[in-house]
Amino acid sequence: MKTPLMLFEKDAVAVARELLGKIIVHGGCSGMIVETEAYTDDSASHAHKRTPRSEAMYSTYGRWYVYFTYGMHYCMNITTNGDHSPGAVLIRALEPVAGIEVMKERRKTDNVLNLMSGPGKLCKALDADKRFNGESVHGVMHIIEGKTFSDGEVVMAPRIGILKARELLWRFYVKDSTFVSKRL
């Protein structure tokens, strides 16, 4: 069942929490979201300034925002905030669901725990890159309903790799998951 577009119209922080448990599908490969981070127009966000790159975070919601970083990795986000303020949720880790053999080949590893446990890793595993930037989350790569986690099963923490705005607990992950990128 498709995740309703309505969900992404909300603020990035609310969306980040609600995305846990949903499933991202591309071709025969898929994974369940176990870790996310919210970005708005705070000082640590690409959307702190409105530029060609961050335009995707300003313009629409319910679309993929995929960017290339460190000269070798992609990171995938879903744009949020239907109120025309900027927002997106970074997908930081997935629990592999389907197409595991194909993903092992793409990632050059046999360790399932290491397949999708990081934003760059999961893009490599799903073969996600810039060609999806700006596309609908109901397109070739899409998101569907999966599990639901109670608040007691979810941990809130500072965003990883972010020095500014450390007081914002905008990282969400499934407490018991062994597939998250990093535990606190």
Q: Name the site residues for DNA (rule: CB under 7 A).
A: 37, 39, 44-47, 49, 51-54, 57, 65, 67-73, 75, 77, 88, 90, 107, 109, 114, 118-122, 159-162, 181
43 vs 148, which CB is nearer to DNA? 43
177 vs 181, which CB is nearer to DNA? 181
109 vs 136, which CB is nearer to DNA? 109
CB 49 to DNA: min, Å: 4
CB 35 to DNA: min, Å: 11
Q: Sign of dihedral through CA atoms 21, 89, 35, 29?
A: positive
Q: Which among 55, 24, 13 has a CA at the least distance from the CA of 159?
A: 13
CB 102 to DNA: min, Å: 16
CB 153 to DNA: min, Å: 23
49 vs 84, which CB is nearer to DNA? 49
2 vs 84, which CB is nearer to DNA? 84
CB 107 to DNA: min, Å: 6
